Amino acid sequence: MLNIALPKGRLGRIVYKQFEQAGFPCPGILEDNRTLVFEYPPAKVRYFWAKPSDVATYVSRGSADIGVAGKDILLEYEPAVYELLDLGIGACRMAVAAPTGFLDDGSRPLRVATKFANIAAGYYASRRRDIDIIRLNGSIEIAPLLGLSDVIVDIVETGKTLKENRLEVIDTLLPISARLIANQAAFQFKYLQIQKIVQQLSLQKKEEHL
């Protein structure tokens, strides 16, 4: 049985369709109910829906053999997993944003609100800028509006949330997309099944680009 952790939500449903086409179907999984674990013995698979930011934890600890996680989570938490493939979906970017017209005069540590404290710390360390990190769990965009922070480091997809909160991107750190990841031991023991998925998903990705 191959255990697969998928991120709950729209991205996870797209990914499941790709796995299904790759030869790992699981009837009933897309039905609208609250079940979180689905097994389909004929295809030797067990899927479960996890919170997107938790997928890498399930995979690194072996509860899942493979899973799909955002590059943002992999960079922030550096879980001990193998990154096998860039699926090219869920594309967005990690950026610094500030209220329109903001100028950093460098007179005091910059107050940075973020869910990605390690990524933000690394970015500002490379620029030798002192910062005061303010860790938040969501709705980061309101922090500058309420005077809690000077800037934010966050995911930007369409840019709509920034615009509606009168913020603008002042620097882009890196592009982000969904990655196929594997547990390190499972990658050895279930090598053939995992390689089959990698090959099929790579083929699907190529066909989409043709």
- Point out which residues bind ligand PRP (CB under 6 A): 138-141, 154-161
CB of 105 to ligand PRP, least distance (A): 27
Between 162 and 182, CB nearer to ligand PRP: 162
By the 8 A CB rule, do 111 and 152 touch?
no
CA dist., res. 169 & res. 96, Å (int)? 6
CB of 139 to ligand PRP, least distance (A): 5
CB of 3 to ligand PRP, least distance (A): 25
Between 52 and 182, CB nearer to ligand PRP: 52
CA contacts within 13 A on the Cβ side of 23: 11
By the 8 A CB rule, do 167 and 144 touch?
yes
Between 91 and 125, CB nearer to ligand PRP: 91
DSSP state of 109: P
The pair of structure tokens assigned to 85 is 């493939």
Between 132 and 157, CB nearer to ligand PRP: 157
The pair of structure tokens assigned to 38 is 């689905």
Nearest-CB residue for ligand PRP: 138
CB of 160 to ligand PRP, least distance (A): 4
- H or E segment at 43? none
Helix (H, G, I), strand (E, B) or coil at 149: coil
Between 99 and 159, CB nearer to ligand PRP: 159
By the 8 A CB rule, do 14 and 177 touch?
no
CB of 82 to ligand PRP, least distance (A): 26
CB of 172 to ligand PRP, least distance (A): 12
Between 138 and 147, CB nearer to ligand PRP: 138
> What residues contact 197, with CB distance under 8 A and at least 6 apart?
19, 22, 24, 66, 180
Instruction: Please give the radius of gyration of the chain, using alpha carbons only, rounded to the nearest integer.
Output: 19
